[in-house]
Chain A
Amino acid sequence: METTLLGRRGAVLSLEERADGRLWAIRGDEERAVWVRRCFPWSEPGHYLSLRDADEEEFALVRDPAELDPTSRAALETALALAGFVFEVTRVLEIEEEVEIRHWRVETKQGPRAFQTRLDDWPRTLPHGGLLIRDVTGDLYHLGKPAALDRHSRALLWAFVD
């Protein structure tokens, strides 16, 4: 299956962030406020980006941001940072098992955080290595290189890493 930049051949797509704080996609005489969803957030985060409008309909599919003009690319990258935001864990301080839940206390790039997972909800190993933990509310915690963490963190994580 061939995927084009716009999901429709021929038209040129440009993106801009406007005063209302939203990302706007313009294609020919069509324009719409959109938000970005990565098609492959973990296996290919930089490619295949779906631009969706307020009704959740796809307005365009960006195969590679490099195909966009520099202004559009910059606007897209800002939107991507927000859409793809997850907590980046830098240290694991505590993992405690309680009834039905596992309690985690971690330090992240965004600040210290405590969260809970269900006992039978195991961290997911990502395609490029690393772990992804989903807490009971749906927030995600990414450990890019568990092996590069400090000794204490590694010891706590040992049971959860292959």
Chain B
Amino acid sequence: MSTLEHLDDQIIGRYLDQPLRLPADLRRQIESGWEGAPVQLYALSDLDHTLRLAESWMALGPEHVAVARRAPDGAWQVQSVERSRIEAVREAPGLSANTLTLFGSPGEPALALVRYTHRQRRAFENIRFVLEEQLEGREIPSVDPDRAYADGVARPVREAQALVSGRQVAVIRRLLGYLKPYRRQLTIGMTAATLITLVSLIPPYLAGYLIDRVVRPAREGALSLGRASTIAWLAVAAMALVYVIRQGAAVVRLRLMAILGEWVARDLRSELYEHIQRLSLAFFSRKRTGSLITRVSADTDRLWDFLAFGVVDVSLSLVMLAGLGAVLLSLDWRLGLAMTLPVPFFCWLIYRHGESINRLFIRAWRKWSRVSDVLSDTIPGIRVVKAFNQEEREIRRFGERNQDVTAEFNRIHETWTTFWPLLMLAVHGTTVVVWALALPRLLGTGTALPVGTFVSFLLYTTMFIGPIEVIGQIARTMNRATTSAHRVFEVLDTEAEVRDDPDPVQLRPVHGRVAFEHVTFGYDGVRQVLRGVSFDVAPGELIGLVGPSGGGKTTIVNLIARFYDVTGGAIRIDGVDLRRLDTGHYRRQIGMVLQDPYLFHGTILENIRYGLPEATLGQAIAAAQAANAHDFVTKLQHGYDTVVGERGHTLSGGERQRVSIARAILHDPRILILDEATSSVDTETEREIQEALERLIAGRTVFAIAHRLSTLRKASRLFVIEDGRLAEHGTHHELLAKPDGKYRRLYELQLQLQ
């Protein structure tokens, strides 16, 4: 079982309260009713006819569709319909209930009807798609039905959270594994921290010792003044030494752990970024850019904080509390008990406080998101606000929400500013109790209590507060760290969908012959975007890809660039299956000029040399000249050293396009992809770009997507892609000569619009 399948099963089991598979007994019953024919796809119909939650199933076989419902006695009642009787398939979507109906001849009662929530919709879409294809006379290659079902049901949760929350301990253990390479530093840091904790216990002890064993005996004459002075000064020196050692150890601990935390954060960032670079495009289409950036920046930073300080603070607070408890009890068990017994209660109070603050924060964040909504609505849409003279209303709307969020934050402040002083009062209360218990004994009633011991005791009590705070916050600290660790591990555990062959082939040289052999491809489930596309393109041909949006043109070029692997069939480059090629080497032979070219933050020169950093300045200028970019670049004050991209000089769409063409020319690819390269520029710019493109495409295999058909007149051949198929192909003139041709219709339509 692959990681993904395992994950889907985990998601269904943990979150969705529904069966992981079609029940085995039902499957057997259905298949035996079909004389052994296998179930090819299935879906759970989780609503009954009265729209209550229920468990029914629809299963698809090679010849039949079955609907199974539970009878009152618990047995399965299966009704099978022959697929050949189905004449239409309809899905009626609702707010949360969908209905799939299979129709036979017109006027007949429906052959089958099932209802289901959106959660089951993908699994039903798979069935619907196969049935609709059958009605069109097309066959769909079979898939693993369990996998298709689990993927369909679990996918929305997986896309929101790609890693099922594991046990906190396991996540923390995995995180701590990153400390392994730095064991030496960790050991030194922990030793220093332990030393700090232990030596912190010495000064109060010394204070008590001095009072009971030196000051009092000296005053009472039991100890000579000279000897008392010597001991006192030695004690003072010892105390000074303790502070020096403690602060020395603090330097070692803080510096080492901070640096070590940075190293681990650096390792995580590098691993994460490296992994992100290797992930397939499918991953990026699922995750928001902002969320990925946060994982590399904020989450690793939070992990630094946890590893550098959290781990040590938590473990040493435990040591400190245990140490203090032991010392207090050994000094005087009665007072020790009075002081230590309430500690667990204080920790619990802090934990409860954390929980209630968390609820307040959720509420405040919700209100905060309403403030952000106004901002993200009105700032980009400020022209509309002004055009409709709605400034006052927007100011009022913002004001109300701003007021609302402020009230929530103030509620949080009220809570914590009440809690902490009260907690401190309770802690001081225990000190008062200690005083109350100690005073009679100090005055000579009850068991004797030496004054020095009591002073030591009081000094120790002040040391309780820090560790109690840390222990009380453990849950929050761990939660924050595990959340960040989860978000980081989620990316690290995602496997690249396009992987290199273990023994990859490098084509040297690449000639640029591209052949599609019955290529099928789907981004999602069994729905196919390409349905058996075949063609053979000779090196140096210019192929124009035309057809309606959503027909599959971009998918074809994405497959040529191997951003995805085909689902069925094969793509061959110079006769070798694309999946067998060394992807890195192959992509160096591919150039792309896109509709909205992306320039990185950096100089124009760096952008032109992006694919070939070792190119000489002369080569860069030659590429820019060929791309009709040299002229406008030299007009800029900083020439090729002009910084562009985010926060840099703003170039127009046409200028950016020409820089990207120069980049492609310098890259010198054997196979070139032009995706709507001239669609967003004016006519004059288009002419300049066309000139540049003509220089660029010479001698290369080119696939050009264009909606403006006039730009493809020079194509060697045109491929009309419609509904995932190669609907027509031929030269511009050949296709125009077809009286009912699709290309001719498109061309005439565009002429009319002009």
Contacts and interface: CB of A to CB of B under 8 A. Distances in A.
Interface of A: 18-22, 33, 35, 41, 54, 81-87, 97-101, 103, 108, 110-116, 118, 120, 122, 135-140, 158-160
A85 B90 contact: no
Contacts of A159: 359-360, 362-363, 366
Given A84-B94, A138-B121, 10 more contacts: A19-B107, A81-B51, A82-B51, A85-B97, A86-B95, A86-B96, A99-B483, A112-B17, A158-B359, A159-B359
Nearest to A156: B359
B647 interface: no
A59 B92 CA distance: 15
B617 to A, nearest CB: 48
A99 B366 contact: no
Nearest to A113: B53
Interface in B157-182: 157, 159-161, 163, 165
B109 A20 contact: yes
Given A99-B490, A101-B157, A54 B90 contact: yes
Contact of B95 (A54, A84, A111): A84
A77 B52 CA distance: 18
Contacts of B165: 98-99
Given A22-B101, A114-B16, A83 B157 contact: no
Contacts of A97: 362
Nearest to B367: A162
Chain B interface size, as a band, is 35 or more
Contacts of A140: 95-96
A18 B163 CA distance: 47
B731 interface: no
Interface string B52-93: 111000000000000000000000000000000000001010
Interface stretch (B112-120, B135-143, B526-534): B112-120
B378 interface: no
A119 B627 CA distance: 47
Contacts of A21: 101, 109-110, 113
B487 interface: yes
Contacts of A114: 15-17
Interface of B: 15-17, 47, 51-54, 90, 92, 94-97, 99, 101, 103, 107-110, 113, 115, 117-119, 121, 156-157, 159-161, 163, 165, 359-360, 362-363, 366, 369, 482-483, 486-487, 490
Most A CB atoms within 10 A — which of B17, B53, B160, B482? Answer: B160
Contacts of B96: 85-87, 138-140
Contact of B156 (A54, A83, A113, A136): A136
Contact of B363 (A82, A86, A158): A158
A110 B369 contact: no
Given A20-B109, A99-B163, A83 B359 contact: no
20 contacts: A18-B107, A41-B95, A82-B94, A83-B97, A84-B94, A84-B95, A98-B165, A99-B163, A99-B165, A99-B487, A103-B15, A110-B51, A114-B15, A114-B16, A122-B366, A135-B119, A138-B121, A159-B360, A159-B363, A160-B366
B53 A110 contact: yes
B332 to A, nearest CB: 44
Contacts of A54: 90
A110 B52 contact: yes
A112 B561 CA distance: 48
Contact of B117 (A20, A103, A137): A137
Nearest to B359: A159
A83 B95 contact: yes
A82 B156 contact: no
Nearest to B18: A114
A113 B17 contact: yes
A115 B119 CA distance: 10
Give the most central of B15, B90, B92, B109: most A CB within 10 Å: B92
Contact of B94 (A83, A87, A110, A116): A83
A106 B359 CA distance: 19
Contacts of B363: 158-160
A118 B156 CA distance: 10
Given A101-B161, A158-B359, A139 B117 contact: yes
Contact of A116 (B15, B52, B107, B483): B15
A125 to B, nearest CB: 10
Contacts of A118: 160
Contacts of B51: 81-82, 85, 110
